């Protein structure tokens, strides 16, 4: 049985992952509305990944005979000034998510909950990748800022991004 504090923290994380998905879907729609189909694709894949992250946490709670408690998803922004602003906000958001994941990992460690700590290791590694990807996107968007041809090429490149099922779900 899960410790109540860990159970509550994971439920909060599930809802944070759902909010993240909603944020990235909103960014995808705003990018597509502005004619950036490749950028929209990049954010749509982020949306799918965040849904998967929520599902991994849900599966974990279910495997521990703990109840998943979904909350209302708060509103997200719906428009951004630029692609660069989207990616800067993405990086800041992923850094916030990393802090939340680390807090659950620390709580699991402090409670000697090795199963939860083990699951959190996957998420900690995933957050390193998420932050790295967001930093790369900020750098790319900064490099082409104000250059229509550069933005066109970046948009085309991002259109080629493909979705990969996260390993904890692929194993099911």
What's the pTM value of the predicted model, to 2 decimals? 0.94
Q: What is the pLDDT of residues 111-163, one digit of tens each?
A: 999 999 999 999 999 999 999 999 999 999 999 999 999 999 999 999 999 99
CA-to-CA separations, 82 to 27, 33, 79, 132, 152, in angstroms, rounded: 10, 12, 9, 20, 14
Return the SS3 of 130. Answer: helix
> What domains are there in the chain, each with its CATH number?
4-162 (1.20.1260.10)
Which pLDDT does position 171 carry in this prediction?
67
| Measured distance CA(96)–CA(85) in Å, rounded | 17
Specify the residue for token string 């521990």. 64
Radius of gyration of the chain (CA): 17
Q: Taking phi first (over 0 means left), then psi (-120 to 50 degrees means alpha), and beta for anything else, what does residue 70 get?
A: beta
Residue range 1-16, pLDDT digits in tens: 799 999 999 999 999 9
Burial (CB count <10 Å: 0-12, 13-18, 19+), residue 98: middle
């Amino acid at each position: 049985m899960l410790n109540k504090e860990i159970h509550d923290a994971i439920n909060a994380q599930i809802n944070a992952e759902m909010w993240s998905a909603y944020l990235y879907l909103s960014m995808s729609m705003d990018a597509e509305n502005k004619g950036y189909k490749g950028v929209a694709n990049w954010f749509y894949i982020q949306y799918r990944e965040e849904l998967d992250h929520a599902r991994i946490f849900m599966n974990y709670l279910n495997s521990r005979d703990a109840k998943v408690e979904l909350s209302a998803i708060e509103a997200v922004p719906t428009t951004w000034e630029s692609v660069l602003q989207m990616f800067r906000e993405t990086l800041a958001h992923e850094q916030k998510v990393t802090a939340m994941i680390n807090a659950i990992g620390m709580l699991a460690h402090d409670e000697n909950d090795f199963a939860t700590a083990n699951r959190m290791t996957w998420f900690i590694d995933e957050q390193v990748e998420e932050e790295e990807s967001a930093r790369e996107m900020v750098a790319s968007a900064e490099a082409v800022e104000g250059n229509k041809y550069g933005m066109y090429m970046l948009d085309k490149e991002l259109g080629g991004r493909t979705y990969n099922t996260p390993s904890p779900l692929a194993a099911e």
